[in-house]
Structure 1
Amino acid sequence: MLAAATMKDGLPFNLDDLINMRVFESNRIDFKATWDKPIKAAVIRTICAFSNDLLNLNGGYVVLGIEENHGMPILPPRGLEGFNLESIQKEIRGTCKRIKPEYQPILFPVHYQGKPILIIMAPGSENRPHQAPDDVNQKGSTYEYYVRQGPETVEAKWELLTQLLELAAKTPFDDRRNLEAKVENLSPILVRRYLHDIRSDLVADGARFDDRDLYQRLRLVAPINAHEVPRNIGLLFFNEDPDQFFSGARIEVVQFGDDADGDLIEERTFRGPLPQQIRNTLEYLNSLGGTLIQKIRGQAEIERTVPYPYEAMEEAIVNAVYHRGYDGPPEPVKVYLYPDRMEITSYPGPVAGLQNKHFEPDQNIPQVPARNRRIGEFLKELRLAEARGTGIPKIQRKMRENGSPAAQFDFDEHRTYFRVILPVHPRYQVLHALREAAHLWAVGEKANAISHLERAFERQPSSGALASQLIEYSFGFGKSELAYKTLSKFEEQLVKSEPSHPYLTMARLLIDRSRVKEANEVLGRIPLSRTINDTVEAAILMKKTNDYAGAHHLFAEAYTINPDDPKIIHEFAQTKMKLAQNLWKKSHIDAKKRLNREAAELLRRAIQLAEDPVREGWCWFDLARTLDWLRAPYSEVEAAYQKALSFIHDEPRFLEGYKKFKNKVRK
């Protein structure tokens, strides 16, 4: 029988990963530095505990020849030099016959870092619960049930014993024999690919194992009536279409254009071995989004956000595949994509012992037996799943790091389903609504575009981007009252994104329609907390409404923040020139001179900083006009005009201004 055998060549797992506990949980590994009678007694108790597999983790491993410190291996290993490994193995096999009912682990004598060690693999048993002597070295020692509790082997008493006895002869569905399938239904190509992915030496160069041998070493087959049949785990992982054996063993992704009653945009079904389903689904989901990049003022770094953090999606999809039932109901894992969220639903709901409150933030999820023990083990070795109890906290942590709202988890009273809800990042929800509305507007469905934005704005009334677009489309459709209503609702929000944008959009649209007085009123309500770009845009709009005093105030504010931006400097100078032009009384002459001198100084600075030839040409033209008014020497004014023309030689306003200057001088 395979379970009683010694495997001298080829491990069905990666030895380095096992010893360093990279994909194996600490409560599934027990290190022993050497071999003696007390260690033998402890090892037999631990083998018994692993065989009982209380949490359905598929047992565990005892490593002889490596010392531990607080559960961590001390390397390089001490090794079992000076011991006869064949004798130790015979002693273990003989002593394990005293476990009731008899249970035999699988033994692997190997070398690690040049030292001989012995790996004892004790998978979860089909015949649990098992008992072992309290001390195999003592005659008449009492028999007890043992289980693993954390990294320790303990006697199963009271509640632990009750839980263990409830598992009597209950084999998790994924580890059961499948009497409807044949060994030929397993794909040797998929098996070898898996072993290659986990870096097993069963497929290393020079290794010669036939397909049946690999199946046995991975425990993918089991004997029945003088022949072998595949276990369910083998069909789930190593058949091209598990759905033909387990109805619903697939993932369906459905994308909706709006909420549940909205139009279906696309539907995709992912079949194949479970790892392939997971990878293909994640690749598809990741392709639907993108990365939103935003430069943060005052920082060298840029801020990157995604609609859903990949790690959160991965954990949710993997958990759905891992913890769902494959013996019914015949429903696939469902991933529903709405504009504001992703829902991952698996069937049935969680196992007994888990309650809704356990999935609330900052709650610890209790240790309960898993529904599937082999699926989790294989996914962990492929690095698709992590240690038990870490998935939910990781989802919440990754959502938080992305700036996304917290994930939600729920299931019904009868535990018919389990659902994970990942809210989309708020910026992406806005982006989706804007894209949909833009498409509708472009194809002529303008009323639908406005209705779509109204629904989105109802959900996120604090979004300045949504409010701005709704205001613009409302004006474009002749519904200015809706634009004012939108601005008022936005104004009521205590916390806003893009807080200045709706005011700027409204003012611009009013100016375009010659409703200058209304535009000035809107600009007067613009929030004080605004970006420098919004401040500059507001100042430019005020210039267009001839509110040069208001524009001057805002340009002064922007110039204080960024005195090296040629656009700000040039606009600031032009505003001073306009203010000077409006001063016509004799009593204003000093103020007029000061404003023009300040304008000239700003224009010279803008010329020094400008990299755009068009901007530089206009700065020279404005400087020429200012110098002319200040009665600067003729040569200085003419030089400024000529500089302007050297940048834009055919600009009519430059030519006209220079001509007037020359004619005035002749007179």
Structure 2
Amino acid sequence: MQRLTDQELLELLNDTESDRAERKETFKGDVPKKARQAVCAFANDLPGHNKAGVLFIGANDKGEPSNVDVTDNLLLSLADMKTDGNILPLPVLTVEKRILKGAPIAVVTVMPSDMPPVKFEGRIWIRTGPRRALANAQEERILNEKRRYKNLPFDIYPVPSATVGDLARSIFENEYLPQAFAQDVLEANGRSYEERLASCRIIVSPEDTTPTVTGLLAVGKQPQDFIQGAYIQFLRIDGNELADSVIDEEEIRGGIVEMLRRIEEKLKAHNRNAVDIVSSATHKIESPYPQAALQQIIYNAVLHRTYESTNAPIRVYWFNDRIEINSPGGPYGNVTSENFGKPGVTDYRNPNIADVLKTFGFIQAFGRGIATARKTMEANGNPPVEFETSQSAVVCILRGKS
């Protein structure tokens, strides 16, 4: 992502009629919400500039500095717009402090999305000249059409052997859509079933109704007919070695929602609580593993695994002394074996599957799953979470309390 020069920023700051710039004097009141609308609109790039849009915090409508105090907390709050889960798919943006016209200004640079339409709180925002507006049905169609010509991530690739009939319409209309779009958008006329599928990246386009990888995983009737490795293999082993006796096993298949609900039930069934009535006056209920840690690691495995060129499932092996969760595909993008799991280091192999998990409520915000798992393991008295990474897999090891 190319950093804009001071001169380029000044030109945008001074051009009050530009559809590539927006200015806010502070980041207070209703500005955080309007700022997210602006980020969404820049990411959609309806005019087709294929250039970054810029949100200036610390400048008035005329482009003059408002002398806001650009603190680290302000920059962190602005950066949170990327990962708080309200803008989907996740936008590509940078946040920095720049000195323009002799004053500090917070600059948020937003790149056009490869996967429009981008939504903020279930609404598609666009730029019409210097103002923000909600996209109408025709503008939404244009954004869908733009997506065809981009270099897309694998999770939005079409699956040629599948048809729109392989999608569960009832799940899409009754479960997915009401959570993906605001009610007033759903009530608007002019959007066909195919257009709504395309807006959610479930199919390629209204004209080409071939389901995508994300579409089959989200609302497919039998996704594993087309994506063979997209299931979870569970083994409960009575011992500490893989060769020991297996006392429970299951291949958990279906769409993402069904798989996650069933694996959560399976983990709860084996994560039996113990009641301590000796160590204190009141009894305490203890679990071998905190349920929140198990959930977060499983969500991460489903989200970050590779679905391309592999028939390997996610493997959950529960031994007497530990749980090993093996996710196909090594670290991706900005994440390496050296920085894996460090705070603030994230990247997304499957950004559209991330959208699905957020829409169905499994993820509230992005980039916090490992931190949550570590915190809850420590609070429960378990050893620290361990990760083993390679080019082909990420293995998470959760150890029981000694």
TM bracket, shorter-chain basis: 0.5 to 0.7
Show the counterpart of 2:5: none
Residue 257 of structure 1: how far off its partner (Å): 1.0
Question: How far is the alpha carbon of 1:315 from its aligned partner?
Answer: 0.6
Q: Does 1:250 align with 2:226?
A: no
Task: Provide closer, same or farther for how the CA distance between residues 94 and 247 of structure 1 changes in structure 2, counting only shifts above 3 A.
Answer: closer
Q: Would you say 1:182 and 2:163 are equivalent positions?
A: yes
**Contact 1:196 1:203 (8 Å CA) reproduced:** no
Summarize the alignment of residues 27-426 of structure 1 with structure 2, pairs less than 5 Å apart: 38=15, 41=18, 44=20, 70=27, 73-74=30-31, 96-99=47-50, 148-150=93-95, 152-154=107-109, 170-192=151-173, 193-197=175-179, 200-201=182-183, 210-223=192-205, 227-258=208-239, 259-295=241-277, 297=279, 301-359=282-340, 363-367=342-346, 369-412=347-390, 415-426=391-402
Q: Which amino acid aligns with 1:420?
A: C
Query: Which consecutive residues of structure 2, in runs of 5 or more, have no partner in the other structure?
Result: 1-12, 36-40, 53-86, 97-106, 112-148
Task: Look up the match of 1:654.
Answer: none
Residues in 1 aligned to 2:399 and 2:316: alpha-carbon distance in whole angstroms: 13
Higher strand share: 2
- Aligned-residue RMSD, C-alpha: 4.0
Q: How far has the Cα of 1:274 moved from its partner?
A: 0.9
1:195/1:202 contact within 8 Å kept: no
Distance between the aligned counterparts of 1:374 and 1:93, measured in 2? 15
Change (3 A) 1:221 1:296: same
Q: What secondary structure sits across from 2:339 in the alignment?
A: helix
Identity %: 23
The structural deviation recorded for 1:180 is: 2.5
How much does 1:408 deviate? 0.6
Q: In 1, Cα distance between the equivalents of 2:220 and 2:332? A: 27
Residue deviations 1:133-156, cap 9 Å, x none? xxxxxxxxxxxxxx5114853389
Specify the structure having the higher radius of gyration (Cα).
Answer: 1
In 1, the alpha carbon distance for the partners of 2:34 and 2:333 equals: 42
Q: Return the alpha-carbon distance in structure 2 between the equivalents of residues 418 and 231 of structure 1.
A: 25
TM-score (norm 2): 0.64
Q: In the TM superposition, what is the alpha-carbon distance from 1:76 to its structure 2 partner? A: 10
Contact 2:89 2:352 in 1 (8 A): no
Deviation at 1:37? 8.0
Aligned length: 303
> What SS does the aligned partner of 1:261 have?
coil
Give how far 1:364 is off.
3.0
Please give the secondary structure, in 2, of the residue aligned with 1:284: helix
Which residue of structure 2 aligns with residue 113 of structure 1?
none
The match for 1:522 is: none
SS of the equivalent of 2:161 reads coil
After superposition, what is the alpha-carbon deviation per residue over 1:208-235, rounded to whole angstroms, capped at 9, x for unaligned?
96532421332322249x5432222111
- Kept in 2: contact 1:306–1:425 (CA 8 A): no
**Structure 1 CA distance, aligned partners of 2:29 and 2:312?**
42
Pick 1 or 2: higher relative contact order, CA cutoff 8 A, min separation 6: 2
Deviation at 1:316?
0.6
Question: Does the aligned pair in 1 maintain the 2:201–2:214 contact within 8 Å?
Answer: no
Maintained 8 Å contact 1:44/1:95: no
The verdict on how the C-alpha distance between 1:296 and 1:346 changes in structure 2, with shifts beyond 3 A counting, is same
Q: Quote the Cα distance in structure 2 between the aligned partners of 1:291 and 1:44.
A: 56
Q: Counterparts of 1:353 and 1:242 in 2: how far apart (Å)?
A: 29
Gaps of 5+ in 1: 1-35, 47-63, 79-88, 102-120, 126-146, 157-167, 427-667
- Structure 1 39/401 Cα, relative in aligned 2: closer, same or farther at 3 Å? farther
Q: From the superposition, tell whether residues 186 and 68 of structure 1 become closer, same or farther in structure 2 (CA, over 3 Å).
A: farther
> 2:172 & 2:379 partners in 1: Cα distance?
37
Q: Please give the TM-score of this superposition, normalised by the length of structure 1.
A: 0.40
Instruction: Output the CA distance in 1 between the equivalents of 2:278 and 2:235.
Output: 35
Q: Distance in 2 between matches of 1:304 and 1:348?
A: 37
**DSSP-derived class of the 1:230 partner:** coil
Aligned-partner SS, 2:209: strand
Q: Secondary structure at the match of 1:364?
A: coil
Q: Amino acid of the residue matched to residue 153 of structure 1? A: V
Alpha-carbon separation, structure 2, partners of 1:375 and 1:71: 32
Q: Distance in 2 between matches of 1:227 and 1:76?
A: 35
For residues 33 and 310 of structure 2, the distance between their equivalents in structure 1, rounded to whole angstroms, comes to 50
**Aligned-residue offset at 1:206:** 9.9
Q: Please give the residue correspondences for 1:565-604 in structure 2 after superposition, counting only pairs within 5 Å.
A: none
Whether contact under 8 Å (1:181, 1:229) holds in the other structure is: yes
Matched residue type, 1:274: I
Q: Is the 8 A contact 2:95 2:109 kept in 1?
A: no
- In terms of fraction of residues, the more helix-rich structure is 1
